[in-house]
Amino acid sequence: MHEFDRIRHERDLSRDRIADLQDTVEKHPFLPVLNRRGVTRHLVLVMERAATARTDNAFVCFCLREAAAIRRRFGEAAARDAMVNAIQVIGANLRASDFIGALGGYDLGVLLTLADAAAAEEKAAQIADDLAAAKLVWERAALDLSADWGVHVLRPGDAPEGIIAAADVDLRIRAEQRNR
């Protein structure tokens, strides 16, 4: 019995260690969100649940327009603060069932659960408005945080990278239309 308890304890320790390592691998190194690997794994889980429950979910890709200019003018620390500020603004607009993650560069991905295309577009526009209204002060300069965005409603059979790519295509189309 003692040996059985020892093996069970070792198994529990191993499970905890695996969970810690998975958490480390899926979290962004300095932003308080998932990284791209975490986003894709989470999308797989949501797709599996949606297939069973038959619910609509939407993925929104945000690209901070001024982040590269902030980086060039004020440095990496200012760009990092701009990203953290954007995450806080976006997070304030999300429900507990939604999630946000960093996709790389100055792109952020948001999964809106139980949201169809119209609801996702409305929420994305609201978040973009809130980002544009937010100001980050850096070296006595007010930094703009406006963002372009694109939406993709998850469909059965979508692959995580395909979901991100489809939202990115929509983002580029909308940004092109805005710039006309």
Identify the three-state secondary structure at position 31: coil
The whole-model pTM stands at 0.85
> What pLDDT score does 62 carry?
97
Average pLDDT in the 44-50 region?
Answer: 90
What pLDDT digit, counting tens, does each position of 100-144 carry? 999 999 999 999 999 999 999 999 999 999 999 998 888 888 888
Q: In what order do the strands lie in the sheet with 107-113?
A: 99-104, 107-113, 57-64, 147-153
Question: What are the C-alpha distances in Å from 130 to residues 2, 7, 41, 106, 177?
Answer: 59, 53, 28, 17, 21
Contact 171, 148 (CB under 8 A): yes
What pLDDT digit, counting tens, does each position of 52-72 carry? 888 899 999 999 999 999 999
> What pLDDT score does 25 carry?
65
Q: With bands split at pLDDT 50, 70 and 90, how would you rate the model's confidence at 10?
A: confident
CATH number corresponding to 2-179: 3.30.70.270
Contact 89, 169 (CB under 8 A): no
Contact 106, 28 (CB under 8 A): no
Of residues 34 and 13, more confidently modeled: 34
Question: What are the C-alpha distances in Å from 138 to residues 33, 64, 104, 144?
Answer: 23, 17, 23, 11
- Helix %, strand %, coil % of the chain (to 5): 60, 20, 20
